[in-house]
Chains A and B, each alone.
Chain A
Amino acid sequence: MKVTINDKIIEVPQGTTVLKAARSAGFEIPTLCDHEALVPYGGCRLCLVEVQGARTLQPSCTLPVNDGMVVKTESEKISQARKFVLTLLFSERNHFCPYCQVSGGDCELQNSALAEGMGNWPLSPNWQRYPVDASHEYFIIDHNRCILCRRCVRACGELVGNFTLGFEERGAKSFLVADFGVPMGESTCVSCGTCTQVCPTGAIIDRASAYRGKAKDVEHHNTICLGCSVGCGIDVLTRNNTIDRIEGDWSAAVNGGVICKLGRFLPVNEKRERVNTPLVRRGDNLQPATWDEALDEIASHLKPLVGKNGSGVAAMASTRLPAESLFAFKDLFTRGFGSEMVTATEEGVTTGLVGALADELGKPFEDYLGSVQSADCILNIGVNLADNHQVVGFFVKRILPSGVKLVTIDPEANPLDGQAEISLHPQFGSDFELIAGLSAAVVKLGLAKKTASLPVENDLALAVEKTGLTAESIESVAVLLASAKRPAIVFGKGITAQSSNKALKALVEFAGLIGATLISTKGQANSVTAAQYHLDKPLLVNGHQAAVIMMADEKPTKRLIQKLENVPFLVVQSSYTSQLTATADVVLPAANWSEQEGHYVNLEGRVQLANQSIEPQEQVWSAEATLAALAARMGMSIEGDWESELKKRTPAVAIA
Chain B
Amino acid sequence: MLKGLSCMKASDRSCRPRAILPALFAILAVLLSSCTVVKIGEQPAGGSSAGEADVASYARDTWERVVSYVNEHAHDLPDVMETLLADSEKAVETYGVRNASAGSAWNFIIKGQGKITAVHTESRAGTAEIDVPPYDGEPDAALQIGPVFKGTSIRDSLDFVNFDQFKNQIDFAKLAAAYNTLVLENVIDAKGTEWFQSGKEIRFVGVFTENGRDILITPVELDETGGGA
A binds B: no
Which A residues form the contact surface with B (CB < 8 A)? none
